[in-house]
Amino acid sequence: MSRVLVANRGEIALRVIRACHEEGLEAVAVFSDADRAAAHVRAADAAVRLGPPPPAESYLHIDRLLEAARAAGADAVHPGYGFLSERAAFAEAVTAAGLVWVGPPASAIRAMGDKTEARRRMAAAGVPIVPGATAPVADATRAVELGHELGFPVMVKAAAGGGGKGMRVVREPGELPEALQRAGSEAQKAFGDPSVYLEKYIERPRHVEIQVLADAERTLHLGERECSIQRRHQKLVEEAPSIALDAALRRRMGDAAVAAARAVGYRGAGTCEFLLADDGSFYFLEMNTRIQVEHPVTELVYGVDLVREQLRIARGLPMRVAEGRAPDGWALECRLTSEDPANGFLPSTGRVTHLRVPGGPGVRWDGGIEAGDEVTRFYDSLLAKLVVWAPTRELAIDRMRRALDELVLVGVATNQGFHRRLLADPDFRRGAIDIQFLERRPDLTAPAEDAALDRDLAVVAALVEDHARTARRPMPPGAGAGDGWVRRARLDALR
């Protein structure tokens, strides 16, 4: 294994390319016409065009990806996350073509990809699962009967799902037939499979996931990530560790995740997701058989490069991670998306005319965009991940607030203002959160009254910096793009 085709785009493609280079491997990028000049394309050792912008004609086209690998002389494929990363058929096609698949065996992907099959396997392995069906439910009458057995409210979930797609909370029996139909239709569009099942809806739990890593000899866990800040089942902020876990609970949940991975013969990096109740009881939700969007927070508190370990394990080498590691410090990740809070969080498109990335101690920017890039309607709205580390949770929150204040992105609407409001909220700061937290706090997701002013300030900040560069003169002593001088300059310009 010497040349890896990265079957993805954006920040995760760039992340994998960098890991390949650090491992002494060459990296091949793929791109659609919309991404011809993207950062991941320029960072790679070679790049191959896939086709037009629609994913079905580019990043989701298995035959074209395999053709690209052959054309570029790649001998391995890393799928990143999203797109084809959890498609067993893609993993099988890669290995059938004589290439190394940087991920778990197709059998593990298939076992965990079918949520009802995964529930059966987890129950057999002694992993606690949410009470519910172990087979898809298509008949509305049977669904109502099962709902009464479980006790309302219940959750309708896509059997082949993930990422919040094909999910409906049902509080009354009469709501079930429509929920089944809508969830099934959404599941068909998202996953090509309309099958849904029912499980008990747990009120106000935390969403806590455990990172696992497995090579041919060992399977271990690298602690938890708190992922309870969600909007419509989509994660917005993640942190590691979780304020809700002590060492004993971390060990119990970690042991369950390791048992889950072993039950399907897992290899590589994966994540077991759990619901955690106030009494310390927890229930298996699903396993993501890929690298997670939020993997950087685990890397920062455990001192491990998960993508490099993926590459190493795929080469048949043992992982370089010791057993029994404890988390060191606290890490937070804010997902920066091109979604407009003033327009119901609908995607925003346009050209990024100015971008200034925050820096300083303990700040990490995992992004795939640059000034001049076009944000299109074809792909996920994730632009970048802003990640920080500090010795304590309180200090990490303060550092993230500072980093968000430094960030300047002009050209598309983003959720930057939401992150600012959240991190200033007293309930969030003391860790009083659960997966329904944002449902109870519409004040945090609704645009602030000064949202227009915030946008104007960002524009003026960009103009001030551009003028300073053009004039080739430094800012006044002690003045930076996020400090009081620039804030006063921007406010003066708005008056």
In terms of CATH architecture, what is 131-200? 2-Layer Sandwich (3.30)
Q: What is the pTM of this model?
A: 0.85
pLDDT of residue 485: 32
Burial group, residue 131, by CB count within 10 angstroms (0-12, 13-18, 19+): middle
pLDDT of residue 138: 87
List of E strands, 52-152: 76-78, 100-101
pLDDT of residue 475: 43
User: Is pLDDT of 156 > 60?
Assistant: yes
Minimal CA–CA distance to 78: which of 346, 290, 373, 371? 290
Which has more confidence, 491 or 297?
297
Mean pLDDT, to the nearest integer, of 142-165? 89
How far is Cα 463 from Cα 458, in angstroms, rounded to an integer? Answer: 9
Query: Does the active-site annotation cover 262?
Result: no
Would you say 55 and 35 are in contact if contact means Cβ atoms under 8 Å apart? no
Q: What is the pLDDT of residues 290-335, one digit of tens each?
A: 999 999 999 999 999 999 999 999 999 999 999 889 999 999 999 9
pLDDT of residue 482: 41
Average pLDDT of the chain is 90
- The residue annotated as part of the active site, out of 87, 110, 206, 290, is 290
Tell me 475's DSSP state: P
pLDDT of residue 150: 94
How far is Cα 198 from Cα 182, in angstroms, rounded to an integer? Answer: 14
Q: What is the pLDDT of residues 237-247, one digit of tens each?
A: 999 999 999 99
CATH fit for domain 206-445, picks 3.30.470.20, 3.90.78.10, 3.40.50.2300, 3.50.50.60? 3.30.470.20
**The domains spanning 3-102 and 131-200 adopt the same CATH topology:** no
Query: Which CATH number is 3-102 given?
Result: 3.40.50.20
Domain extents for the chain? Answer: 3-102, 131-200, 206-445, 451-494
Cα angle: 232, vertex 271, 310; to 5 degrees: 130
pLDDT of residue 276: 97
Q: How confident is the model at residue 469 (pLDDT cuts 50, 70, 90)?
A: low
pLDDT of residue 385: 98
Q: What is the pLDDT of residues 206-253, one digit of tens each?
A: 999 999 999 999 999 999 999 999 998 899 999 999 999 999 999 999
Minimal CA–CA distance to 410: which of 364, 353, 466? 353
pLDDT of residue 484: 37
